[in-house]
Amino acid sequence: MTNLKSQISNLKFSGIGYLLTVIGLFFYSFTQVDLGLTLSRWSIWQVVQKYFQNIGYFQRPLSSFLFSGIVLLLFFFYLMILRAVHNNLFAKKTIWTLIILITVILAFSYNAFSYDLFNYIFDAKIITHYHQNPYLQKALDFQGDPMLSFMHWTHRLFPYGPVWLVFTVPLSFIGMQLFLPTFFLFKIFISACYLGTVFFIGKILQKNSPKNELFGITFFALNPLVITESIVSAHIDIVMMFLAVWALYLLTSTKYYRSILLLMVSIGVKFATAIILPIYLLIIYLQKKKVLLDWWILFSTITVLMIVPVALASYRTTFQPWYLLDVLPFAALVSENYFILIPSVIVSLVAMFEYLPFIYLGNWDPPVPMILFWMTVGSIFVSLLFITAWRIKKVIR
């Protein structure tokens, strides 16, 4: 009886602790509001915004401490919840309630760790407001636009697929050129894609590995890096992955035409998922030949393949934490395996801390790039050490 009470207490502690830390992340995000951006002219809000900005921009040691504490607590509670789910101590309804709550909370956060969301908004604005082609015109061509005062990367042309414009131009129209409504429309849309990705991860596992369904959902949905990059920073990658995972679910259900169509739409968002098209076609061929498929091997292959565009993008510029969104949804399908679980957690944790040098220093100047490089390399090396140690431990047992 005492042990049961202790388990119930630990479950409440981990779930409530995770949720409270997410609320802390929500408030912390507003410390990073760009100094050139006023989210509202409401006088009370301006006082609040300046208070938070003062922490983010003028009390950097405090800001770094708060950020580090939030990240460590999120991963601590994340691992506690993962362990409890592994031991069948969490109900599916409880996990989904937690997922929905954090989505609702963080959908209204500020995109604290990336300016990409502003570029998405402006790319659509070039069409809806300026009636120009974002493949030919860049933000810098529209001098005098108030968004230029807080945007970064204003010199680049539209780098994504045309499907992304199909999704975002209607949001820009609905927002009626008002920044705040448009901002939250984009955030809500991208957050919904995060929920959709979680949903179809669950559906795939329910069909092919039912005993691992809840673990796979939890592994992906509550990963602190995933919620930060998908909901807080609202990166395009989660939209691309939502479509690719949905396509994979249809593929496992032998709905071939809709599956390939959705994968092509995914490729039309950001191109990276083009690398797994041959695997999808191979699966269709094998299924039509009535070959018995080993889905574990296929999911693992897709996971490894998605590392390739991450590596190429990192080589071309530098590694960015949100690149992991291209891998983790597929990794969730085989996440009960220690050689997937261990590096996913370690690399995600270190990737989150790659924001810390900027938060502390306020710039990405040298030696920050070299520090980030060795952090990434170090996370891979440490992952290999842990995998080796785990393997040795299993052999000894």
What pLDDT, on the 0 to 100 scale, is given for residue 101? 98
Residue 142 covered by a domain: no
- pTM, entire model: 0.96
Here the tokens at position 59 are 């009390």
**Cα distance between residue 199 and residue 221, in whole Å:** 10
Q: If you average pLDDT over every residue of the chain, what do you get?
A: 95
Predicted confidence (pLDDT) per residue in 351-375, tens digit: 999 999 999 999 999 999 999 999 9
Report yes or no on 31 lying in a domain: yes
Cα–Cα distances (Å) from 182 to 49, 117, 179, 240, 285, in that order, read: 19, 11, 5, 20, 43
How sure is the predictor about 67, in pLDDT bands with cuts at 50, 70 and 90? Answer: very high
Question: How large is the average pLDDT for residues 56-62?
Answer: 97
pLDDT at 1 over 60: no
Both tokens of 30, joined, read: 């507003």
Q: Quick one: pLDDT at residue 349? A: 98
| Domain extent at residue 347 | 2-115+182-396
pLDDT band at 10 (very low <50, low <70, confident <90, very high): low
pLDDT in tens, 145-187: 999 999 999 999 999 999 999 999 999 999 998 999 999 999 9
The DSSP letter of residue 195 is: H
With CA atoms as reference, report the closest residue to 96 among 4, 191, 279, 218: 218
**pLDDT tens-digit series, residues 262-298:** 999 999 999 999 999 999 999 999 999 989 899 999 9
From residue 347, give the alpha-carbon distance in Å to each of 285, 339, 353, 383: 35, 12, 10, 8
pLDDT of amino acid 127: 97
In a domain, 189, yes or no: yes
d(CA 228, CA 29): 10
pLDDT at 7 over 80: no
Any domain includes 258: yes
Please report whether residue 120 resides in a domain: no
Number of compact structural domains in the chain? 1
| Structural domain includes residue 168 | no
At residue 4, the pLDDT reads 54
175 falls within a domain: no
| DSSP 8-state secondary structure symbol assigned to residue 322 | G
pLDDT tens figures, 305-349 = 999 999 999 998 889 999 999 999 999 999 999 999 999 999 999
Q: What does the pLDDT look like over 196-226, one tens digit per residue?
A: 999 999 999 999 999 999 999 999 999 999 9
User: Residues of 172-202 as b/e, b for ≥16 C-beta within 10 angstroms?
Assistant: beebeeebeebbebbbbbbbebbbbbbbbbb
| Domain-embedded: residue 64 | yes
Amino acid at 241: M
pLDDT at 332: 98
The per-residue pLDDT for 6 is 57
Choose among 23, 122, 14: nearest CA to 77: 14
